[in-house]
Structure 1
Amino acid sequence: MDRRDFVRMGLAAGGAVSLAPARAAASPSKIWQGGILDAGVAEQQQWMEANKLTSHSLTSQYLARIKSIDKSGPRINSVIEINPEALKIAREMDRERMARKVRGPLHGIPVLLKDNIATGDRMSTTAGSLALAGVRAERDAHVVAQLRAAGAVIIGKTNLSEWANMRSTHSVSGWSARGGLTRNPYALDRNCSGSSSGSGAAIAASLATLAVGTETDGSIVSPASVCGLVGIKPTIGLVSRSGIIPIAHSQDTAGPMARSVSDAALMLSAMVGVDEKDAVTRAAGTVDTNYAKALDKGALKGKRLGVARNFFGSNDDLDEAIEKSLEVLKAQGAELVDVKVPNTDKYNDSELQVLLYEFKTDLEAYLKQYAPNAKIANMADLIAFNRQNASTELRYFGQEHLESSEAKTGLDSREYQEALANNQRYSRAEGIDQILKEQRLDGLVAPTGGPAWLTDFINGDHYGGSFSSPAAVAGYPHITVPAGYVHGLPVGLSFVGTAFSEAALIGMAYAYEQATQHRRAPQFPASVSLAVR
């Protein structure tokens, strides 16, 4: 079956209730170049509105693709659990559409969730840990309730770096004891980065239309960058943190991961909202969150952007790719100013201290509210469980961060309060906001990070440079967009701004994306290393 036959079959399935998995089992190379599963939200909606596609048939095809690509075929191992109610939900969305009750742009659109986001259904929520295997959350996270209300079809959970990469000082991103290792679709021997590894790999491989990731520092933008995706880390308070297995409330947030800026913008609009259980979201009630209005091809014209030169220099080939991106920005009407983001070295240590303090407190609160029947109730229980199950949980690396977190006292500690104040001072007022004001900038741009590294269970991760920390510590928005390839591996260009500047950043990111169209679907090579030689 060639690609055109597969697409024609998918479109013709619009009036049917399902698509037999056997008929969707074409090889990845023949499914790949465009078509229904690689399409975006707007195109899929057009097909459904024209009665050429149903949510049920679309969901069926994604589930078949997960089986053929994720669990066999290249076996990228990005989906940790399938929602047994996915087809039932999709069928209900089709019934609503037939009754002319379309909830919005995400109506009937298949979505994957990172497995640290609570769902009050038949799926587990585990953060990749065997300590929570089989544990079902008491209720949906607020962001899940928002997506369901928007008509999204939650089709499963994605693998992640266990405990969102806050377990060991020598961790391997994309590995969890429950889910195993997620592999990068652009080179199967390379890492997806973390901790939203599964979300990144799954959307790159077109296993769903959209996915939700979470970030404390880099966990959305880094896997998005190395998987050739758009990732948006929102301002803290734009998206509720309720029901997300935490690291630290001062930096944690969920955000969209998608194959285009427009898809990410539509998803973000559905995710935001005031949550009475998360007081910080009240600020979102004053923001216009219809981000589709920001999708303007001319949005870069007249913008003044700071090129954060202190985040260049980690990789010559990466710098060359980003320099070409800067030329595109200028060609689209942006004025570029070389700058140095100030004081980025003044919160390296204090950031970790805040995370360690908040992890202990926040984890216990989550377990009490969302998983009261779990076999662990706090950090000490988790550490003990891992020691008792060392052959599975500790087979590749330890739990130094968990142990350091357990040794911390409460959030009334002077050390914690001083560290938090230090973070906010040097990342916000004397960091991003200072350089934006001094240079009269609309935003900052820089390489998101280096290309994907070889997965190494002996030495652990070896990141290249990263631009994630300033926005992460400040709690400010950060968007990464595909910026080309380094030896066949995707890299991203980052746009960063002050609090609640998502609309402006989305506009600029969209204008850049439309001028470049860098993203190419992966071909699942075993390695790109030989090709480089």
Structure 2
Amino acid sequence: MDRRDFVRIGVVAGSFAGALAGAAGAASAVTPKPRPRAESDILEAGVREQSAAMAAGTITSQALVQRYLARIAAIDKAGPRLNAVIETNPEAVKIAQELDRERAGGKLRGPLHGIPVLLKDNIATGDRMCTTAGSLALDGVRASRDAFVAARLRAAGAVIIGKTNLSEWANMRSTHSVSGWSARGGQTRNPYALDRNPSGSSSGSGAAIAASLATLAVGTETDGSIVSPASSCGIVGLKPTLGLVSRSGIIPIAHSQDTAGPMTRSVADAALMLAAMTGVDTEDGVTKESQGKVADYAAALRLDGLRGKRIGVARNFFGGSTAIDAIVDKELALLQAQGAVLVDVTVPNTDKYGETEIEVLLHEFAPDLKDWLAAYAPHAPVKNMADVIAFNEKQAAREMPYFGQEHLIAAHAKRGLDAKVYREALANNLRYAREEGIDQVLRAHRLDALVAPTGGVAWLTDYINGDHYGMSFSSPAAVAGYPHITVPAGQTRGLPVGLSFVGTAWSEATLIGMAYAYEQASQRRRAPGFPATVNVQV
């Protein structure tokens, strides 16, 4: 059973620069060089193209930031009114100016130097922006310091230009939630059909990158919250291995599954961004497991990344839509044409952690949230889950006009992390998602990865019935804590379809190589046109 039926949720700068330089030498024979772009479409361009333009002096970081801020005003706050950006950074232009001065002085922090990025509004920033998870209970609350991920991106030279809207409390509020809606930010709309849902919980990040409101964005995932909105919004989403990217400073659902990850318009951008986000964090002990396991992700960007790879086609994650299955089957032939060996498989035991997954998430939510509030928002008016519940009840007209807070209430009622039911549920999840799940099928068939449709296409936003998730491939990797990357695979009725690559722990470089080779061969991404609804004639 898909756990979203329950939850509805959807190295340092110097070494980073060195890694990219090494990758350029290793992969130059097979990696295409950035294509020059006219200034008119620089906002759709990726990191390498924008960096090349800044190096050539045809644009500055300040100008790039100002153009994205103008596009946010024109498209997100007016025009189609995507509602993807919840807040812009009043210091963004000043930060870009300083990075331009560094560039002029010969100092480059790495490939992301001067590149604009958006962060999901559950990632703490110790600046003039708020960190709220979309809740009015935290409206106006500024975090005491940066989340580790935010600090890493700043150190790499990225310009944080704003925060993105999200499903409130990362879609862990109600059993009948509407993805992309928060009381603080309102409803995010899908750029491919404005009456369709962008999926959640990283809804704003997905819609913003699809609409070219920034070069890069950070999403967070517990189960599906990066890969599902990435698929629904026609972009690349990468959920890393648990522990590769620090969780400190991110408003939590559950430490057993939470992670941040890149959301971008290309696999190359996701790889460069991931390299900047990784690192051991003394405040997040699980990141110690990443020592010696961080790879050269830029070097993985090779056109021959599929050659000789054995890939399991997870057939038990097909069947949700004949249209999607037909698209993905066509793309599987392209994988074979690029040298991959495909084997039809079934991922075992996926029915054995549906209910126990939500048990773990509910047990961890309240204590994890209490710890975050104490560490990053000590002056917030709410201190714990009970306070949040009480605030929502008092502000029901604004906080609960469409759906309630059943998950918050259930989380508050749980007996804590020492409860036997919690410990048994966690052990069950790891057993059946890891060693008797993904790892078992990879070993049995000598596979490098699994592929399947990421999920269904965007559904109509519906405040009466809530979300309408179809079949999803997110849970096995999410519960296991293993990496998952989704890449645009085409469209049906004008709505994007994603193809997922999933592997064992720390296999990001392998997955990036396969995803990049597929992306470069397929070129399936198409920019959105912001139609009011689906063109059924497509």
Classify the TM-score, shorter chain: over 0.9
Report what 1:365 is aligned to: 371
Q: Deviations for 1:284-306, whole angstroms, at most 9, x for unmatched residues?
A: 22123321000011010100000
Q: Are positions 1:253 and 2:259 aligned together?
A: yes
Report what 2:524 is aligned to: 518
Aligned AA (2:326): E
Q: CA deviation at 1:35?
A: 1.1
Q: Are positions 1:130 and 2:142 aligned together?
A: no
Report what 1:392 is aligned to: 398
Contact 2:227 2:486 in 1 (8 A): yes
Q: CA separation in 2, counterparts of 1:367 and 1:90?
A: 30
Aligned AA (2:522): T
Question: Which SS does the other structure have where 1:246 is aligned?
Answer: coil
Q: Are positions 1:469 and 2:475 aligned together?
A: yes
TM-score by length of 1: 0.93
Q: CA deviation at 1:529?
A: 5.0
Q: Are positions 1:81 and 2:90 aligned together?
A: no
Contact 1:135 1:374 in 2 (8 A): yes
Q: CA separation in 1, counterparts of 2:38 and 2:87?
A: 23
Aligned AA (2:103): R
| Alignment equivalent of 2:330, drawn from 312, 321, 324 | 324
Q: CA deviation at 1:410?
A: 1.3
Q: CA deviation at 1:243?
A: 0.1
Question: Which SS does the other structure have where 2:191 is aligned?
Answer: coil
| Alignment equivalent of 2:487, drawn from 481, 484, 502 | 481
| Alignment equivalent of 2:501, drawn from 479, 483, 495 | 495
Report what 2:514 is aligned to: 508
Aligned AA (2:262): P
Q: Deviations for 1:94-120, whole angstroms, at most 9, x for unmatched residues?
A: 000000100000000000000000000
Shift in alpha-carbon separation, 1:423–1:33, aligned structure 2, 3 A: farther
Contact 2:294 2:506 in 1 (8 A): no
Contact 1:453 1:462 in 2 (8 A): yes
Q: CA deviation at 1:130?
A: 0.1
Contact 2:83 2:188 in 1 (8 A): yes
Q: CA separation in 2, counterparts of 1:288 and 1:49?
A: 28
Shift in alpha-carbon separation, 1:332–1:361, aligned structure 2, 3 A: same
Q: CA separation in 2, counterparts of 1:271 and 1:34?
A: 30
Report what 1:296 is aligned to: 302
Q: Are positions 1:285 and 2:278 aligned together?
A: no
Q: Are positions 1:209 and 2:215 aligned together?
A: yes
Question: Which SS does the other structure have where 2:218 is aligned?
Answer: strand
Aligned AA (2:469): Y
Within-5 A mapping of 1:262-277:
262-277=268-283
Q: Which runs of 5+ in 1 are unaligned?
A: 1-30
Within-5 A mapping of 1:52-71:
52-71=58-77
Q: CA separation in 2, counterparts of 1:34 and 1:62?
A: 12
Q: Deviations for 1:452-497, whole angstroms, at most 9, x for unmatched residues?
A: 0000001000011100000000000000000000111001000000
| Alignment equivalent of 2:56, drawn from 47, 50, 54 | 50
Q: CA separation in 2, counterparts of 1:429 and 1:52?
A: 52
| Alignment equivalent of 2:380, drawn from 371, 374, 386 | 374
Question: Which SS does the other structure have where 1:358 is aligned?
Answer: helix
Contact 2:494 2:535 in 1 (8 A): no
Q: CA separation in 2, counterparts of 1:331 and 1:63?
A: 42
Q: Deviations for 1:199-233, whole angstroms, at most 9, x for unmatched residues?
A: 00000000000000000000000000010100000
Report what 1:15 is aligned to: none
Q: Deviations for 1:78-105, whole angstroms, at most 9, x for unmatched residues?
A: 0000000000000000000000100000
Q: Are positions 1:452 and 2:458 aligned together?
A: yes
Question: Which SS does the other structure have where 1:482 is aligned?
Answer: strand
| Alignment equivalent of 2:118, drawn from 102, 112, 116 | 112
Q: Are positions 1:93 and 2:92 aligned together?
A: no
Shift in alpha-carbon separation, 1:528–1:374, aligned structure 2, 3 A: same
Shift in alpha-carbon separation, 1:34–1:255, aligned structure 2, 3 A: farther
Count of residue pairs the alignment pairs up: 502
Q: Are positions 1:151 and 2:157 aligned together?
A: yes
Structure of higher RCO (CA pairs closer than 8 Å, 6+ residues apart): 2
Report what 2:146 is aligned to: 140
Question: Which SS does the other structure have where 1:494 is aligned?
Answer: strand
Q: Deviations for 1:408-461, whole angstroms, at most 9, x for unmatched residues?
A: 011010000000000000000000000000010000000000110000001000
Aligned AA (1:65): R
Q: CA deviation at 1:530?
A: 4.6
Within-5 A mapping of 1:429-448:
429-448=435-454
Question: Which SS does the other structure have where 1:435 is aligned?
Answer: helix
Q: Are positions 1:422 and 2:434 aligned together?
A: no
Contact 1:113 1:156 in 2 (8 A): yes
Report what 1:168 is aligned to: 174
Report what 2:26 is aligned to: none
Contact 1:32 1:38 in 2 (8 A): no
Report what 1:191 is aligned to: 197
Report what 1:16 is aligned to: none
Which ranges of 4 or more aligned residues in structure 1 deviate by more than 3 Å?
A: 31-34, 529-532
Q: CA separation in 2, counterparts of 1:179 and 1:52?
A: 35
Q: CA separation in 2, counterparts of 1:361 and 1:486?
A: 42
Over the residues paired in the alignment, what is the CA RMSD in angstroms?
Answer: 1.1
Aligned AA (2:492): V
Q: Are positions 1:405 and 2:402 aligned together?
A: no
Aligned AA (2:155): A
Q: Deviations for 1:336-368, whole angstroms, at most 9, x for unmatched residues?
A: 000000000000000000000000110000001
Question: Which SS does the other structure have where 2:86 is aligned?
Answer: strand
Shift in alpha-carbon separation, 1:374–1:506, aligned structure 2, 3 A: same
Q: CA deviation at 1:34?
A: 7.2
Contact 1:33 1:521 in 2 (8 A): no
Report what 1:315 is aligned to: 321
Aligned AA (2:320): S
Q: CA separation in 2, counterparts of 1:66 and 1:57?
A: 14
Q: CA separation in 1, counterparts of 2:128 and 2:470?
A: 39
Shift in alpha-carbon separation, 1:32–1:450, aligned structure 2, 3 A: farther
Deviates more, 1:523-532 or 1:120-129: 523-532
Q: Are positions 1:224 and 2:214 aligned together?
A: no
Aligned AA (2:41): G
Report what 2:23 is aligned to: none
Q: CA deviation at 1:32?
A: 12
Q: CA deviation at 1:283?
A: 1.6
| Alignment equivalent of 2:311, drawn from 287, 290, 305 | 305
Q: Deviations for 1:296-352, whole angstroms, at most 9, x for unmatched residues?
A: 110101000000000000000000000011000000010000000000000000000
